[in-house]
């Protein structure tokens, strides 16, 4: 193998999706277990999506911890951050509720009060909501505000299944801004896995300082430019080998 091919392989590896295990991350999946268009079939696809993302995050190595808050008319902490060694099996066994009510506001309050009291200093905090019910309400807005005011560096992404008429796009934008991922149906959740993993691994990264303040360590634009450069370099070097 020549020197140029060695360089090519190194840069091709660097250009692949980020290794999420390189930094500490506390990731909370907030999953909607209320009535689904196809019942348990849709629920199974939602759980498969969460399991696949957790696998890509390499939860078992200890640097990435995952919790799950399940909700319908009420919300509960189903998997705590300190259960990460059993995450895959526990996710597979989460029950489908099927209730008509979807209380995301209550789920975010549970996330704030029961999950985020166990965060690690310096770890990146990400909340991933997966739902097909998102309607405007003062209660939901207040819950989002409470979460963000309590933990000013928390990052919120919403994966919304919009094909069944239960998601108001304006409300989605107000809650998560540009950190949204929309699909028509549960069958397409797997298409969004890379996008969600990329956000968790490479999005805006804020570190909590000992004084409780936040400081930005890297921007999304910078990381996008870095990935694009590395991919171009990979292709160019590969052609020259």
- Please write the tens of the pLDDT for every residue from 5-40: 333 333 333 334 456 766 789 999 999 999 998 999
pLDDT, position 239? 43
The reply to whether 210 falls in a domain is no
Instruction: Give yes or no for a contact between 133 and 164, defined as CB atoms under 8 angstroms apart.
Output: no
The reply to whether 177 falls in a domain is yes
For the chain, what is the mean pLDDT? Answer: 78
β-bridge partners, 160: 131, 182
The reply to whether 2 falls in a domain is no
The reply to whether 3 falls in a domain is no
Instruction: Give yes or no for a contact between 209 and 215, defined as CB atoms under 8 angstroms apart.
Output: yes
CA dist., res. 53 & res. 134, Å (int):
22
pLDDT, position 11? 36
Instruction: Give yes or no for a contact between 97 and 88, defined as CB atoms under 8 angstroms apart.
Output: no
- For the whole model, what pTM was predicted? 0.76
The helix (H) or strand (E) run that includes residue 29 is strand 25-32
The reply to whether 160 falls in a domain is yes
The reply to whether 90 falls in a domain is yes
Task: Give me the domain span that covers residue 100.
Answer: 25-200
Q: Tell me, what CATH number does 131's domain have?
A: 3.40.50.410
CA dist., res. 24 & res. 205, Å (int):
11
The reply to whether 69 falls in a domain is yes
Encode pLDDT of 167-208 as tens digits. 998 898 888 877 888 999 999 999 999 999 988 987 643 333
The reply to whether 29 falls in a domain is yes
Domains in the chain, number: 1
């Amino acid at each position: 193998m020549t020197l140029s091919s060695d360089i090519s392989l190194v840069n091709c590896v660097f250009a692949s999706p980020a290794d999420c295990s390189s930094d500490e991350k506390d990731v909370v999946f907030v999953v909607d277990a209320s009535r689904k268009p196809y019942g348990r079939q849709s629920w199974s696809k939602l759980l498969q999506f969460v399991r696949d993302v957790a696998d890509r995050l390499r939860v078992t190595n200890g640097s990435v911890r995952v919790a799950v808050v399940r909700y319908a008319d009420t919300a509960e902490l189903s998997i705590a951050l300190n259960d990460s060694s059993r995450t895959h099996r526990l996710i597979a066994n989460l029950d489908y509720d099927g209730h008509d009510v979807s209380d995301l506001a209550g789920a975010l309050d549970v996330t704030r009060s029961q999950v985020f009291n166990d965060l690690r200093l310096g770890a990146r905090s990400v909340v991933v909501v997966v739902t097909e019910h998102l309607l405007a309400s003062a209660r939901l807005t207040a819950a989002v505000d409470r979460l963000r005011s309590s933990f000013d560096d928390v990052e919120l992404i919403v994966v919304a299944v919009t094909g069944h008429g239960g998601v108001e796009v304006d409300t989605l934008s107000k809650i998560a801004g540009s950190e949204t991922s929309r699909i028509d149906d549960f069958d397409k959740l797997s298409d969004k896995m890379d996008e969600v993993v990329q956000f968790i691994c490479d999005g805006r990264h804020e570190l909590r300082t000992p004084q409780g303040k936040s400081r930005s360590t890297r921007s999304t634009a910078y990381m996008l430019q870095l990935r694009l450069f590395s991919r171009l370099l990979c292709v160019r070097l590969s052609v020259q080998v």
